[in-house]
Chain A
Amino acid sequence: MAEFIIKNGHVFDPVQGIKGDKKDICIKDGKIVDKVSGSAKVIDAKDKTVMAGAVEIHAHVAGPKVNLGRIYRPEDKLFSCTPTKGIERMGGGASIPTTFKTGYEYAKMGFAVAMEAAMPPLFSRHVHEEIRDTPIIDEGAFPVFGNNWFVLEYLKNQEIENTAAYCAWLLKVTKGYAIKVVNPGGTEAWGWGLNCLTVNDPVPYFDITPAEIIKGLIEANEYLGLPHSMHIHPNNLGNPGCYETTLDTLKIAAGIKPKNKFGREQVMHLTHTQFHSYGGTNWGDFESKAKEVTDFVNKNKNITIDTGNVTLDETTTMTADGPFEHHLTGLNHLKWANCDVELETAAGVVPYIYSPSISVCAIQWAIGLEIALMMKDPMRCYVTTDHPNAGPFTRYPRVYKWLMSEKARKAQIEAFKHKDKVLSQTAIGTLDREISLYELAQMTRAGPAKSLGLAAMCGGLKPGMDADVAIYNINPDKPIANPDDIEKAFSRCAAFFKSGVQVVSNGEIVNNGNKRTLWVNVKAKENPQVMRDINEKFVKYYSMTQANYEALGHHFVPNPYAIEVDATN
């Protein structure tokens, strides 16, 4: 494999605590190394910023609901098609790009890893087919557990060991990465057109509460010692006043300690926090409760969060929170798609326009930024747009601009139709913090990598780690004259190396890299009871046989990278 040396760049690496110092980065055989031979190709990064490849902790980029979005929104392709170009396959779609475009766009921004945030286990083979067709970036997928009948039945009887054994089995057969929970209990209730809006609402028939599901799955996660923590989208998403449910959810993690060998320090990851930080009683007195939520998270070290920033675009919302999407179509009257999945979950899709002329959308925009600016530890707060729910991932550079420049935020607030309302209902006008490049590297690289249990592999530039290196056209020595330059620089890398292969040069794809599928292979204790239960459910209630359920073979996972976990002790 080729050797590279990246010279004269300003390096930002939280893993080694490097804050913009000039340092050479050496690459050999796909890894960062201390030094390379004289034959190494020299890349000059003078007056440029060098960071590790970025890590996406939560995005909906592959699978049935994403593709349903593509199928039912031909309008999303208007003005967003890209033709075949050299080694680049053609692409299309703005909020739900085709798989090829997804891979290229992430790579062009310097992303090395992306996690698909909700995989319905029954559809794991579909998710993996799309992941296979998404070039360059390494991807993993989180199977959803929060409404799974096995989990509901085991946890009703407080059977943590059985829950854990089932989780281990499901991660293996679906080639999944982590335990994802979406609207625990509420999505099962949606099977009957109902919902669970607090952590204490009992789930119909199963007679268990969301709080019990959450606690049980955290415990199962730590019992197994998985690389990532339980990753939760709580109940009551998106409603005025929902922050109380969010705080109730966060409190469940109190006192639980992480147990793993991956350096992960949290037991709960709260995703798209923006959607869960609303106060008020209706859309008229709708207000930010970012302070209340971030205060709690700041005090509790065993929680990490991501933001879910609204980008003020037309987009396509999609979530395993089936009842929420039904509620949303009632609000905006746009087309509604839904798919309930037997024994496991559901999903809904509704297009949405975050208009800067609507006060609620503008307040949502402000809340997302407040969360990032109010979080004291950037290693525990990661930038996401919950792609495509709050906006497409291709808008990350714009979010970075807002975070890094008060001037850019002020300009946007000025542009809002209801700016007074934004200022009165949120604290965005009082926040003068500007995220530094070092903090950005924490929020987009080292932080999410650590939370995912990948700290030893990616998110940093320490020798021995994967050689994912992004070079941006930003000179940290000079003050930024125009905030738009930040957006421009992060939109297209000057160069990007993925696992030691240069995949982007001057913002163009030059190599399709060696894409991998990350999954977690848990060696768990044999559990005949769980195996018998699985067998019984397939015989009686699934619509397919157990023998055909697994995502198996080269066609689905052509280049697997299994993270081994030994949970036998």
Chain B
Amino acid sequence: MTKTITDVICPFCGTLCDDIEVTVSDDGKKLLEVANACVIGTEKFLHSQSTDRVTKPRIRQEDGSWKTISYEEAADYTAKALAKAKKPLMYGWSSTNCEAQSVGNEIAEIAKACCDNTAAVCHGTTLIAVQDIGLPTCTLGEIKNRADRIIFWGCNPAHAHPRHMSRYSIFPRGFFTGKGQMSRKMIVVDPRCTDTARMADVHLQVEQGRDYELLNALRVAFKGEWLPDVVAGIPAEKIREAADLMKSGRFGIIFFGMGVTQSLSKNHNIDIAIAVTKDLNEYTKFSIMPMRGHYNVTGSGEVFAWQFGFPYSVDLTRGFARYNPGDSSSIDLLKRGEVDMMFTIGSDPGAHFPISAVRAIAKVDSVCIDPHITPTSGVSKLHVPVAFNGVECGGNCYRMDNVPIDCRKVVEPPEGMMTDLDFLTMVCTRLKKLKGAA
């Protein structure tokens, strides 16, 4: 006999679908089938079942080989390394739950660490723009029920957030959008002809790196002022058409992704995109929302904010929280050689940071807490495999629109495996002893 668990939350992307159905064996030890999830999500669930998983902590030896150790020994190593370090960097947090993040923050406070999440290489620029100009946004259900103008700017949900369009933005029939896709106009702004762009009513194939100019031109077009013949590779006429389309909607939304946050102009792109949204609210109702990547990167920002006051790149080395991206952000700290201990959890900087920063990780004491073997675990001194959050343990996570959803445990982890929370709690207890903290 098998059991089917409903309303399961998918721990992959910021869409945080919560309608997954998972079939498990009667004893709850084997995960057999996944329904409703996209291919990536399905893989994430099924991957937990692979037989070649690392199930015990491993420490790197002199000769470069791994030696298996116990969780207690791993917690000892981590606590000692944190206690010894002058400027430890605790990075990641985006693929773990808020409970673990909370304990991690307590550890960081005792260790006087720098803490950062993956926004540093993703939507950190968005946060900077929000700090400049604000953010008119809404929840995804508002889009489903009201939105008739959908703009995807520098993002490709067809591949990166595969169920976004079917659950929230394009296809669903909501309260005021009974005709579903037919009641919406879709604009895609992307230099590439992506699968998302192919679905659009209007595709503005902006010149690479010219998003700021195009956004600025839209603001001009809203006011009906003069425009050059071509801006950012788009003819003025087409810009005016797009501007009219946006203004004529009842409720619109701009979704944007890494195409604008991490291309030329960075936070300035977002700054003006938010200004565009603000302008549109003079004519109709408009919102804007970042397409957050990791399933709980948003949660990490939230927990940082309510505990330390800042959403990412927080520096606790002076005993109180400071925030200065560019100075207190992970890549910059690593590249300047300031970090003397690297602690990674729920993320893979080894695969995403510039090589100069990854080299800096390899030089210092380092711990990587991750269920997978990753480039980061490859350069770390200690690899602590843990249960898959959202599959083998529950915990609260925040969707891209900041809506919290409590993940579910659907299957038992391999015997003896700890969760992020359990392991961090062990480290915290040990660190408190070492530091004599209250």
Contact = CB atoms under 8 A, between A and B. Distances in A.
Interface in A51-104: 62, 64, 66-68, 70-74, 76-77, 81-84, 86-87, 89-93, 98-100
A82 B251 CA distance: 43
A338 B139 CA distance: 11
Given A89-B109, A129-B404, A71 B320 contact: no
B327 interface: no
A489 interface: no
A547 interface: yes
Most chain A beta-carbon contacts within 10 A, residue among B134, B303, B310, B321: B134
Nearest to B6: A547
A342 B141 contact: yes
A63 to B, nearest CB: 9
Nearest to A351: B134
A546 to B, nearest CB: 8
A77 B306 contact: no
Contacts of A338: 134-138, 287
Contact of B134 (A99, A123, A337, A342): A337
B406 A553 contact: yes
B311 A71 contact: yes
Interface residues on B, range: 35 or more
A99 B55 CA distance: 37
Nearest to A88: B438
Nearest to B167: A543
A255 to B, nearest CB: 36
Contact of B251 (A64, A123, A192, A555): A192
A193 interface: yes
Given A122-B139, A338-B135, A92 B403 contact: no
A84 B316 CA distance: 10
A92 B321 contact: yes
Contact of A133 (B136, B141, B307): B307
Interface stretch (B38-46, B142-150, B204-212): B142-150
Nearest to A542: B141
A548 interface: yes
Contacts of A90: 109, 308, 316, 319-321
Contacts of A129: 98, 303, 306, 396, 404
Interface of B is mostly: mixed
A377 interface: no
B222 interface: no
Contact of B7 (A123, A149, A545, A555): A545
A31 interface: no
A100 to B, nearest CB: 7
B109 A71 contact: no
A130 B98 CA distance: 11
A139 to B, nearest CB: 14
A343 interface: yes
Contacts of B319: 83-84, 90
A475 interface: no
A192 B404 CA distance: 25
Contact of A340 (B109, B142, B320): B142
Interface residues on A, range: 35 or more
Contacts of A543: 139-141, 144, 167-168, 403
A70 to B, nearest CB: 4
A89 B285 CA distance: 41
B7 A547 contact: yes
A141 to B, nearest CB: 14
B415 to A, nearest CB: 25
A130 B398 CA distance: 14
Contacts of A83: 318-320
A70 B304 CA distance: 10
B333 interface: no
Given A122-B403, A548-B406, A341 B139 contact: yes
Nearest to A549: B405
A152 to B, nearest CB: 12
A329 interface: yes
A336 interface: yes
B306 A130 contact: yes
Nearest to A97: B309
A556 B281 CA distance: 36
A552 interface: yes
Given A335-B134, A541-B145, A81 B320 contact: yes
Interface in A114-144: 122-123, 125-126, 129-130, 133
A256 interface: no
B402 A343 contact: no
A81 B285 contact: no
Nearest to A93: B309
Q: Which 4 A-B pairs have the closest CB atoms?
A: A342-B141, A335-B134, A543-B141, A340-B138
Interface of B: 6-7, 9, 18-19, 98-99, 102, 106, 109-110, 127, 130-142, 144-146, 167-168, 174-176, 250-251, 278, 281, 284-285, 287, 301-303, 305-311, 316, 318-323, 395-396, 398, 402-406, 438
9 contacts: A74-B309, A81-B320, A93-B309, A129-B98, A129-B306, A192-B146, A338-B135, A342-B138, A342-B141
